[in-house]
Amino acid sequence: MTERLEQSRILIYSHDSFGLGHLRRCRSIAHSLVARFKGLSVLVLSGSPIIGSFDFKARVDFVRIPGVIKLKDGEYTSLGLHIDLEQTLSMRESIIYHTAATFKPDIFLVDKEPTGLQGEVTSTLKMLKQRGTINVLGLRDIMDEPNQLKAEWQRKGVEPVLEELYHDIWVYGLHEMGSPIKGLELSSTVKNKIAYTGYLGREIPNHRNWISPVDYEEPFILVTAGGGGDGVEMVDWVIRAYESSDDLPHRAVIVTGPFMPATEQQEFHDRCDGLSNIEILTFDSHIELLMEKAIAVVAMGGYNTFCEILSFDKPALIIPRSIPRQEQLIRAERAVALGLVTMLDPAGERDPLQMAAAIQALPKQPNPSSTQINGLLSGHESIAEIVRQYLEPPENESITA
């Protein structure tokens, strides 16, 4: 059902210092909302350097703010500008503030970082609350190991912001996977703002102009490292499995991700050139189409990939990272306990024969839908219902098409 929310506006902030996860999550929410509500416009604020590589539906647009990137020591630096970080952050805060002041959103949705990168959205949250905007924090199902998250949020002064500047906290997951803020000792005021939406289901994108980078008529296993910046170990492990075993029944299609270091990418391409049952590519903005056509998936287990595995109901083997955050490891362990996926822990020796055995068994693994968990993929519907309750006009003015 399509409803009308004439002249309604939603602004989404995604700090995007690294990877693709934040951008893809925000884009998914924006697309689902404009598909549900005619007259609604959504603007995405993003620091992603490749946001222009993605298609956006009508009534969804984006503002690209200057990019930053997190270094291995935890510090940030400017991504594309030869100016110091302080100037870049000042520019980002100004662009965010003035875009919000001009766009005048009815709802301001902040992805994951309650105060933004280095506190850059706090001034905008204050201004919009004074104007009557509904400020919402969106959290993925798992944030990090509780002690690490607690220390991080204390350092950033998050709790007062959650109490004073946010109306709602949406958790894009299920109670069954646990609370992303467990152990943080937050006030009852903050806890009462939390609503679990279910996971964000994904649809097959328009593939009218899509040219498949591989032959998908022959069965294949998709291996995806997400953005790729931290996927070197997983991709290496999979390639070594194919190098070590002659009896793997299906070919692999590996997508390294655009942020994998160039040296490692080239090495992997060179190794795969000598293997007849592996194809390797860097990036496809319609990776959902590849996943839908795959018979199974090997992945690191980031939030978006996990949602796609559930949405397209694919047997999946998760190889989670545990540094710098334990988010993927915790998600994988809990998903295994619920019977949704299987997992190999990369913290061990990464035996290629162990990986080969797991890949061989993967296509026979039960699909996630076999668990029959209620509300598993209800995220978009739940968010739309909350938005409708906030923004729908008085009953005598509403129109349903």
| CATH code where residue 170 lies | 3.40.50.2000
186-208: average pLDDT: 90
Same domain, 82 and 51: yes
Same domain, 247 and 381: no
Same domain, 119 and 192: yes
pLDDT digit string (tens) for 38-50?
999 999 999 888 8
**Contact indicator for 142, 169 with CB cutoff of 8 Å:** no
Q: What whole-number percentage of the chain has pLDDT above 90?
A: 72
pLDDT digit string (tens) for 265-302?
999 999 999 899 999 999 887 888 899 999 999 999 89
Q: In this structure, is residue 25 part of a structural domain?
A: yes
Q: 324: cis peptide before it, omega within 30°?
A: yes
pLDDT digit string (tens) for 117-133?
999 999 999 999 999 99
Residues 140, 172: Cα–Cα separation, whole Å: 5
Predicted confidence at residue 396, as pLDDT, reads 46
* pTM, entire model: 0.90
55-69: average pLDDT: 90
Number of structural domains the chain divides into: 2
The whole domain housing 354 covers: 220-371
Lowest-pLDDT range, 12-21, 151-160, 305-314?
A: 12-21
Predicted confidence at residue 173, as pLDDT, reads 97
Torsion angles phi and psi, residue 46, rounded to 5: -145, 145
Reading phi first (left if > 0) and then psi (alpha if -120 to 50, else beta), residue 342 is in beta
pLDDT digit string (tens) for 315-343?
999 999 888 788 999 999 999 999 999 99
Residues 43, 10: Cα–Cα separation, whole Å: 6
Same domain, 162 and 305: no
139-150: average pLDDT: 93
